[in-house]
Structure 1
């Protein structure tokens, strides 16, 4: 299997620590002036050095060795301790200068030994008198600092040294392996002495276990070493940095993958871990990346790994593609970009994986056909290779646009050339949509220049279709997590550019469900704009965007396995269930059997899995919107009620579990057969001129409906008939404050829970605390709660309780500090007042009515 790295890719990550006989690393030059620089530093600090050596706390053996070295008798321990003293006194890590000075003056073997001894002593940094001791003889911090710059340079020099010089250095280092820390430092410098590494892996490192661990992670080179480490084998979160990970990969190859995968959740820089994984020729490495493939950054690294190891990637992708749509898209794009793999790799896959790959692979190439068009000459787009992109098919889909014309077409797209329309008119719309998506993927997941993104987004908006919108939604939703807020907001225009109901449904999903508030608000604005263009409100547009999911007029769906057929229905929670050939009801479709038609059964099985996801999302959104409509008193015409609720194959499952009413207060419900009936179970005729609402029990008593809903075992999607109703007192109706809630102290968690009830937190300009919480109460009016001491923006600074100092009605949202206008709670309708009181009582607990 040809899995050699691409020529432009380095074999290891930046800053890795090379080993003799391993991947070739940089051979650094020696700074010939470094020895003089070190001597000058020592001379400048001569008095302080002498004071440290005279200190009663300094180990006399160390002090004597430093004096010998200063007197002209080269001594590795003396040189190392002297370096430790100077670095500690001056607060400067001299790094490679020390290595260069030692090598230039005394040779590589001496320098390596001085490095080991320099890290085997500890210099006290507290106020004078300072002292220096052997590190192993004093209590020490769990993680001892190691001069990484000096370490890297010496390891580079030793890895590239001539054989005679290397043997001499190894021989001298052998005499400095007196304790676990020194042994680990020596093994780090010469990891090719695998017997020394094995000895380190097998022993307890004592107080310096943490320091020794990362040194060993850069020294191990075999499964035997990992076995000797036992439970200690594995990266720790703070070790998940590119130099350590790249060195581990260089030493262990694919054996390093489990260690990298385990550290992703706690790593301070998880993207660096993924970068490292993307460079390993390992099935497991790619599988780990694919488990995070919905994350755009992980997706980008998975794409990089797939392109780097194109042959190895196919069986991994094929195995996962059947259950993960994001992976299926990656496999399809990979096979379309490398059609030779369809004939060379796919036939050898296990049968189920082979069928998946063949289904997702490229269609047979279409012959190119000249088109009556004269190409203009805008500058070509350097990063686009049209031979790696799907063909653009002409109308009729029997022939393809010539490759040279496709290249000109891309250049015109990038240039905004008006000739784009002439080419597009010749092409199949679906093929243009696939081509535009392939352009987007190529640009997005290969870290290409962001300024190009504008024309790529424009191509998506112009040629994209419903599938484009569905693919784009999770990517845009995750971009803010990678600090790409602006790009996420700009990409929302793609959905309105596509303009189909399905595309706007995806935009509505982002407006309701995006994890980032800024993106939700931007999606709401984009949705409002789309609604205005259609002459609708955002809520009216949302009513019209509920998909029918291919259900029939009875709200059911038939799925075909070939010899077997299954009917999908929905229970009272809108959860789908399946009725099979024998009439037996089951919660899910059975997996296709050997006797079923392979293609038909697989398609039906995948359709049902997607249906469950779609219904779950739609149901949650619809229930929330209808409850909000009940609270706000929103109404529909009779025609809208019949079209959007009674006649909708999916929404009617929710609608028939509610009580509806006309503007005149005539209540009715929707029967299972789509007829209407009143509280006496008599037929009800809805006047064509009626306005229809979902009545709140504060506005229309609904208690008489409880018996009929119980008789028919109807479960409501949210509390309506039995909803608790709260009322304002006469005094509260005449005033603008709710004093019964003021002065109460409540847990912080309850205040934060108000977010889910539609309240928003605000803070004065420049303040670190959010001191107001507000929610809309009526047109232009807001209920505002003033908090003390306020909610700190930084979660770590938040106090556990908040005092409600003020609860009042305001004619602008909280955050301005003033109370403009005199308003009373009597201006609110009973339903709104009841909901506000419900929130406040839930916040503070039961209160006595004044």
Structure 2
């Protein structure tokens, strides 16, 4: 019932985020400023902090008045030198606030809280006097460089901030304090600043405000004092009268006569303060060019000329319950340099002010200048069921005419946007999409037909599908009127499949869990499973936990085909974001063919569809085949931003956890085989091989080794040659990335004592065409159950194995294999070093010749206190270390419990990522309880840090 009740269109409430206002007595209720529990202690702490950083600014070449400076010192000195409060001298406090090098609100606020609001009023009045007369300081004539106007601007800013705080206290002060403040400020109304401060602090004295707003034009034009309107000019304070205003007349008097000296950023509280004083009738006036720039209701307000309102300005007009504000909003959105239909339609004014909308849109339509108002008005009349009788009569006339001609204004704007080459008809993509939605929302066959006529353009198809679901009968008539065109016939077929009752068949049962863009009848069956059943099983799944019955579904090749058809329907609907059903279907039903098809969209999505890209990454994890996981691995390294790389890495971790293996064990199986197919230049072909260092080597057709990739010759096919060169460049990059990662992984495996079965070792390291190049340059060993090395061996070039006597050695299929650390080799280390040197084997990382350290070498005093680059600390994360939560320490776990911790300072900070760090402490102080291998690696890493 509530939906059919007209709202109170004259009701007004200050929006929540505009309620941080400068309060006035009797105005919008704002909580008073919080009073510190111990204001004296807070003031003392603030002043001592300022004293520790230099009491007076050292960049001002000025001479202070000695008497006033002494008064300021008498106020401050007791707070600095004793535990007793200073004197209640508001003039001394005014001097202090205007002269300290660092001004914080914590000076004014605790001082006023401690001494009272009356003290604050007198302090502000004294500050106003000093700023007006300039008596506090003068420029030092002996210094040729002066920035007097800038320094006086700082004084003005401090005066304004102090006055704003005191006004907040006065708004809720007892009557006696308020009357006292009125008396004090009345005595100072002998100068412009005194008058401005009085009206700002006591805005209930409307006589003062009347006088001062009327005088503002004279002050702005007055140059008798010889001052320019620069930052130090006291006339900049005249803007405070805006926050004392209480009538439209005040605003009219101030317009063009106050200086635009508010915050450079939009502050909703400024607008809220004016509306609190004047009322909502001020809204339309505040959106005019002068006030819009002053209150930052336009972007880049310093630019000359009239600027369009920004979202804050449009929102202001949309919540003001007056015809003037509604009319201004319409003109701003539809009569400017670009159409802002999205801003208008999202503002909620048609719902909030339905009767006012009829009245104002009728007036604008009668002007006959902008046809869009006719479409807006007619759509509003026929769709809003709350409208009164006279409006309903107009709606019935429109219905009786079949809505003839409605929507043509929207269609014209959309066509102009499509055909325009040099300007944007709409302000943004959202405005264009909202315009299409508004056209489709007109409940007549003709309007929906205009959508169908343009359905091959971006955003139109998805909008039509949404409209057809809401009004299937109207969509059917519009489609049948356009049969004979391929795209309309396709849409008609899908529409009848989705709504078979329109063709006389039984309606399909409604399934709430399925998205409304999905045409289930157009999906293929999967074995014995009907498409409806498959879709319901998908809807009952997550990527990480597919429905158990989907195991049988996935056994059919057509399951992936169904998932891809779902994806294509989602794509045709322009990727609606309310549901992730399409990506879910790919994740639980996809296969390797899905991976290839899906990843083709990644370059486009990574640029402008980050959320969709993340969902696709999750789908790859759900597919879970080696092809899908290799793509995840590639994205974890090469996705275009860190967020997507992290997302891919997290999905790899989830897959590894689901399989019951570590990430490193998973990565062992994801090393891709290099694509060494010949480079095809058309008439010429070039073979690719890898050398011992896993560098690519090119040969021509006669077997000659080439020093670089060949350039395209005149006889070559230019497209094939360019593609071949690009593939070769990418191959070299990929090989470098993969080998670097594998090298680090194998070194970490040696240090952390990872082990593999003989079968895993053979499959992953010996038979793999890429990993083999690293395998053959390392020493391997079989290990006993207690972790001790049994037999060390090296792989030979023919993929057989040789022992320390260089005799052929056979690997036991039941053996456990790993990379021995030099500690495992004992006295055989020297002999293995000789063998590797004789065969000129260059190891991918130090192994046989690796430095060894013992507990006796653990003199931590050689490390603590040393400064190290942050980059070296980060590099330890590739050596088995990890940062603590605060990024002030590195941790290395022991084999069966606590390990070693390095504390450093000042700690990593994102603003200074390259700042050097000092090693502060290494724990435990005694490494004797750790295994020799761990001790050696810890000391080796410490020597690396300080090297």
TM-score, L = length of structure 2: 0.46
What is the aligned-residue RMSD (CA, Å)?
A: 6.9
CA contact 2:617–2:648 (8 Å) conserved in 1: no
2:896 to 779, 788, 796: 779
- How far 1:188 sits from its partner (Å)? 6.0
Pairing of 1:22-33 with structure 2 (within 5 A)? none
Query: Could you tell me which residue of structure 2 aligns to residue 544 of structure 1?
Result: 669
Q: Whole-Å Cα distance in 2 between the matches of residues 73 and 511 of structure 1?
A: 64
Query: Could you tell me which residue of structure 1 aligns to residue 884 of structure 2?
Result: 762
CA contact 2:749–2:819 (8 Å) conserved in 1: yes
CA contact 1:495–1:507 (8 Å) conserved in 2: yes
1:618 to 729, 735, 738: 738
* 3-state SS of paired residue (2:846): coil
CA contact 1:760–1:775 (8 Å) conserved in 2: yes
2:256 to 109, 116, 121: 116
- How far 1:680 sits from its partner (Å)? 8.1
CA contact 1:770–1:791 (8 Å) conserved in 2: yes
2:865 to 714, 739, 744: 744
1:717-743 CA distance string (max 9 Å, x none): 3233443x13214596xxxxx654575
CA contact 1:377–1:408 (8 Å) conserved in 2: no
Query: Could you tell me which residue of structure 1 aligns to residue 755 of structure 2?
Result: 635
1:377 to 484, 488, 509: 509
2:928 to 825, 829, 838: 825
Q: Whole-Å Cα distance in 2 between the matches of residues 670 and 303 of structure 1?
A: 65
1:375-420 CA distance string (max 9 Å, x none): 9623367865358x99756789xxxx9xxx9789656743669998
- How far 1:441 sits from its partner (Å)? 6.8
Q: Whole-Å Cα distance in 2 between the matches of residues 800 and 503 of structure 1?
A: 41
Q: Is 1:668 aligned to 2:761, yes or no?
A: no
Q: Whole-Å Cα distance in 1 between the matches of residues 460 and 840 of structure 2?
A: 53
Query: Could you tell me which residue of structure 2 aligns to residue 804 of structure 1?
Result: 920
Q: Which runs of 5+ in 1 are unaligned?
A: 1-27, 124-140, 161-183, 190-210, 222-238, 255-278, 287-300, 310-331, 339-361, 733-737, 764-768, 810-822, 846-850
CA contact 2:514–2:539 (8 Å) conserved in 1: no
Query: Could you tell me which residue of structure 1 aligns to residue 821 of structure 2?
Result: 696
CA contact 1:745–1:802 (8 Å) conserved in 2: yes
Query: Could you tell me which residue of structure 2 aligns to residue 349 of structure 1?
Result: none
Query: Could you tell me which residue of structure 1 aligns to residue 907 of structure 2?
Result: 791
Q: Is 1:717 aligned to 2:834, yes or no?
A: no
Q: Is 1:569 aligned to 2:689, yes or no?
A: yes
- Taking structure 1 as reference, are residues 118 and 597 closer, same or farther at Cα in structure 2, changes over 3 Å only? closer
Pairing of 1:577-616 with structure 2 (within 5 A)? 578-581=698-701, 583=703, 585=706, 587-588=708-709, 596=717, 608=728, 611-612=731-732, 614-616=734-736
- Taking structure 1 as reference, are residues 252 and 726 closer, same or farther at Cα in structure 2, changes over 3 Å only? farther
- Taking structure 1 as reference, are residues 772 and 143 closer, same or farther at Cα in structure 2, changes over 3 Å only? closer
CA contact 1:457–1:494 (8 Å) conserved in 2: yes
* 3-state SS of paired residue (1:117): coil
- Taking structure 1 as reference, are residues 513 and 664 closer, same or farther at Cα in structure 2, changes over 3 Å only? farther
- Taking structure 1 as reference, are residues 29 and 336 closer, same or farther at Cα in structure 2, changes over 3 Å only? closer
1:799-831 CA distance string (max 9 Å, x none): 96445334218xxxxxxxxxxxxx96354143x
Pairing of 1:169-248 with structure 2 (within 5 A)? 214-216=301-303, 219=306
CA contact 1:69–1:78 (8 Å) conserved in 2: no
- How far 1:631 sits from its partner (Å)? 1.6
1:580-639 CA distance string (max 9 Å, x none): 4454536557679885396x7787667556645543443233222111122233333444
Q: Is 1:500 aligned to 2:620, yes or no?
A: no
Query: Could you tell me which residue of structure 1 aligns to residue 561 of structure 2?
Result: 431
CA contact 2:517–2:570 (8 Å) conserved in 1: no
Deviation larger for 502-511 or 692-701? 502-511
- How far 1:643 sits from its partner (Å)? 2.1
- How far 1:840 sits from its partner (Å)? 1.7
- Taking structure 1 as reference, are residues 805 and 463 closer, same or farther at Cα in structure 2, changes over 3 Å only? same
CA contact 1:659–1:667 (8 Å) conserved in 2: yes
- How far 1:435 sits from its partner (Å)? 3.6
Q: Whole-Å Cα distance in 1 between the matches of residues 634 and 835 of structure 2?
A: 35
Query: Could you tell me which residue of structure 2 aligns to residue 834 of structure 1?
Result: 936
Q: Is 1:531 aligned to 2:659, yes or no?
A: yes
Q: Whole-Å Cα distance in 2 between the matches of residues 240 and 32 of structure 1?
A: 21
1:726 to 852, 868, 887: 852
Bigger Rg over Cα: 2
CA contact 1:786–1:805 (8 Å) conserved in 2: yes
* 3-state SS of paired residue (1:699): helix
Q: Whole-Å Cα distance in 1 between the matches of residues 766 and 507 of structure 2?
A: 54
Pairing of 1:310-329 with structure 2 (within 5 A)? none
- How far 1:651 sits from its partner (Å)? 1.3
- How far 1:648 sits from its partner (Å)? 0.9
- Taking structure 1 as reference, are residues 503 and 52 closer, same or farther at Cα in structure 2, changes over 3 Å only? farther
Deviation larger for 640-649 or 417-426? 417-426
Q: Whole-Å Cα distance in 2 between the matches of residues 697 and 285 of structure 1?
A: 71
- Taking structure 1 as reference, are residues 444 and 843 closer, same or farther at Cα in structure 2, changes over 3 Å only? farther
Q: Whole-Å Cα distance in 1 between the matches of residues 13 and 891 of structure 2?
A: 69
Query: Could you tell me which residue of structure 2 aligns to residue 414 of structure 1?
Result: 539
1:461 to 571, 587, 591: 587
- Taking structure 1 as reference, are residues 157 and 592 closer, same or farther at Cα in structure 2, changes over 3 Å only? farther
1:773-800 CA distance string (max 9 Å, x none): 320232334113355x663777679996
- Taking structure 1 as reference, are residues 142 and 413 closer, same or farther at Cα in structure 2, changes over 3 Å only? closer
- Taking structure 1 as reference, are residues 157 and 374 closer, same or farther at Cα in structure 2, changes over 3 Å only? same
- How far 1:747 sits from its partner (Å)? 4.1
Q: Which runs of 5+ in 2 are unaligned?
A: 1-8, 15-22, 28-166, 172-177, 200-205, 222-233, 315-328, 340-415, 437-455, 463-486, 498-504, 542-546, 783-788
Q: Whole-Å Cα distance in 2 between the matches of residues 538 and 648 of structure 1?
A: 19
- How far 1:645 sits from its partner (Å)? 1.7
Q: Whole-Å Cα distance in 2 between the matches of residues 612 and 335 of structure 1?
A: 41
CA contact 1:469–1:503 (8 Å) conserved in 2: yes
- Taking structure 1 as reference, are residues 216 and 73 closer, same or farther at Cα in structure 2, changes over 3 Å only? closer
- Taking structure 1 as reference, are residues 654 and 306 closer, same or farther at Cα in structure 2, changes over 3 Å only? farther
- How far 1:579 sits from its partner (Å)? 3.7
Q: Whole-Å Cα distance in 2 between the matches of residues 714 and 412 of structure 1?
A: 57
Q: Whole-Å Cα distance in 1 between the matches of residues 935 and 24 of structure 2?
A: 78
CA contact 2:669–2:764 (8 Å) conserved in 1: yes
* 3-state SS of paired residue (2:945): helix
Q: Whole-Å Cα distance in 2 between the matches of residues 619 and 645 of structure 1?
A: 13
Q: Whole-Å Cα distance in 1 between the matches of residues 217 and 812 of structure 2?
A: 100
* 3-state SS of paired residue (1:530): helix
Q: Whole-Å Cα distance in 1 between the matches of residues 757 and 697 of structure 2?
A: 33
- Taking structure 1 as reference, are residues 302 and 469 closer, same or farther at Cα in structure 2, changes over 3 Å only? farther
TM-score, L = length of structure 1: 0.51
CA contact 1:390–1:435 (8 Å) conserved in 2: no
Q: Whole-Å Cα distance in 2 between the matches of residues 755 and 528 of structure 1?
A: 20
Aligned length: 588
